[in-house]
Amino acid sequence: MNRPVLDDLAVGDVVATRTLTFDRARLVRYAGASGDFNRIHWDEAFATGVGLPGVIAHGMLTMGAAVGVVEDWAGDPGAVVDYQTRFTRPVVVPRDGAALVEVTATVGALDVQARTARVDLTATFEGVRVLGKAQAVVRL
């Protein structure tokens, strides 16, 4: 894969899109890797009992999977030198099947002196944003 070149980019360029798939098995694997066994991520009755619409994906899983789109585009995870976001809505993962999160990565700003691009991420679930002000700075 060719790494992107700063001089070839313009603000507004869509540089990557991806559909992320979250199923219950992925939640279990993430819980084991992260140590986050909060019942809202696997126990339907508990999740709804605390006011959630159902079992939800880990916020950090959603956040990490979304920035993976930028890492792949950049060709090097180490090129992402900053990443920030806010959680705006949970991703509800059904018992059967999967939740699909659509991610679009768009160039939001370029800094020629620093040789960086700010990539703005739009991540939506069922047509509604799940991450707000999701921005990654990539050194190119």
Question: Where do the domains of the chain lie?
Answer: 6-21+57-139
**pTM value?**
0.94
pLDDT tens per residue across all 140 residues of the chain: 689 999 999 999 999 999 999 999 999 999 999 999 999 999 999 999 999 999 999 999 999 999 999 999 999 999 999 999 999 999 999 999 999 999 999 999 999 999 999 999 999 999 999 999 999 999 99
Assess if CATH 3.40.1260.10 describes domain 6-21+57-139. no
Structure token pair of residue 132: 């707000």
Q: Which helix (H) or strand (E) holds 27?
A: helix 24-34
- Residue 30 sits at φ, ψ, to 5 deg, of -65, -40
Q: Which of 29, 30, 16, 136 is nearest to 73 (CA)?
A: 16
